[in-house]
Structures are given as structure tokens and as C-alpha cells.
Amino acid sequence: MRIVLVGPPGAGKGTQAARLSERLDVPHISTGDIFRENMKNETELGKEAQRYVDAGDLVPDEVTVRMVKDRLAQPDAAQGFLLDGFPRNTAQAEELASVLADLDQQLDAVLVFEVDDEELVKRLMARGRSDDTEETIRHRQEVYRSETEPLIAHYQDVAVRVDAIGSVDEITDRAMDALAD
């Protein structure tokens, strides 16, 4: 299966992607995790990404797309993948479409996680990652509304909405049900 997870920051994409990738036996590819790993190890990519992640801005498409193309070229992604946090704007979606077209592949589903803003702030403040300050969270929400939300219409043929409020187990079950439909 080739699946994309879309949702505002704190919607639980990372939480659910880890569980879904295990159930579906496909690799979990999180652009946020790859950036954080590179920032921790102070690689060139990490240094390039740091200021954008800290500010809650999107890392430039050129950097992000190159990174995702490299990851998708690895053998474990040949039979399927769960993309968590990519694409995050229409330019990235077009790049992904062109990579998949070259391989004669297509997306099976785009899961859209829905959570209201107040619940998102509550979750992220409780987590307390370095980019989880109230100001940065609000900014990431704005970036989501302007850059990422238009993807839902872009993917209307394969998009499925998932109510992402409830227990982690309930949401996994809803996502699995949505994929089975």
C-alpha cells in the first residue's frame, strides 16, 4: 500500500503512522523525524533544516524533495510506504506524483486527520518538543491552513477523513477501517 497522512501539527500523524506501518507492513517515512535525526547529528541537511523547524516554517521544497526522493529510492519502499508529513504543499505533491509516475505507481489513499485547534495546542504543549512553544504551534497551524490544507482538494479522489479525537487505539481502528473501505 502507498499511503499519505495529512493533518495539522499535533494531529497524531507520527503516533498513528508508527502503528499503521506495523499493521500494514510498510515502512514509516516521516520527514519530521528525518529532519530531527539530521539536526541531532548535526549533518549538513540538519543544519539547513534547523532554523525552519525551530520557526515552525516549512523547510524549502528543494531540500525536502531531494531527501524524500532518496528515501523512496531505498529497496524497502518498493512495495509500499506510509508517508507522514509529506507532501505538505502542492509543489511537493506534484514532485511525488512525478516520482510515482516514473515508477508506474500511484497512491492508494490519503488519510486526512481532523482535530480542532484547541485540542492540538493542548497535545503539543503537553509534549513539549523544542518547536512546541505556543507561538510556534500557532504559526505551524497557520502554515498548515495556507500550505497544506489545499492538498485535501488536490487529493479528493483518494482522500479519506479520519476523526482523530479519541484514544490512540480508537483512531488506529478508524484509520484501518477507512483504508478497508
CA atoms of 100 and 75, how far apart (whole Å): 15
64 binds ligand B4P (CB under 6 A): yes
Determine if residue 174 is labeled as part of a ligand binding site. no
CA distance 167 to 132: 21
Q: Is 151 in the site for ligand B4P (CB under 6 A)?
A: no
- Output helix, strand, coil percentages for the chain, rounded to the nearest 5: 60, 15, 30
C-alpha grid cell, residue 173: 481502528
CB of 167 vs ligand B4P, minimal distance in Å: 6
Size of the site for ligand B4P (CB under 6 A): 28
Amino acid at 15: T
Residue 62 CB-half CA count within 13 A? 1
Of the residues 2, 3, 20, 32, which one makes contact with ligand B4P according to CB under 6 A: 32
Q: Is 32 annotated as a binding residue?
A: no
Residue 140 near ligand B4P by CB under 6 A? yes
Nearer to ligand B4P, 26 or 111 (CB): 111
52 binds ligand B4P (CB under 6 A): yes
86 binds ligand B4P (CB under 6 A): yes
100 contacts: CB under 8 Å, gap ≥ 6: 2, 106, 107
What is the separation, in whole angstroms, between the first and last Cα of the chain? 14
Binding-site residue numbers for ATP are 10-15, 127, 166
Binding-site residue numbers for AMP are 31, 36, 57-59, 85-88, 92, 129, 140
- Residue ranges binding ligand B4P (CB under 6 A): 7, 9-15, 31-32, 35, 52-53, 56-59, 64, 85-86, 88, 92, 123-124, 127, 140, 168, 171
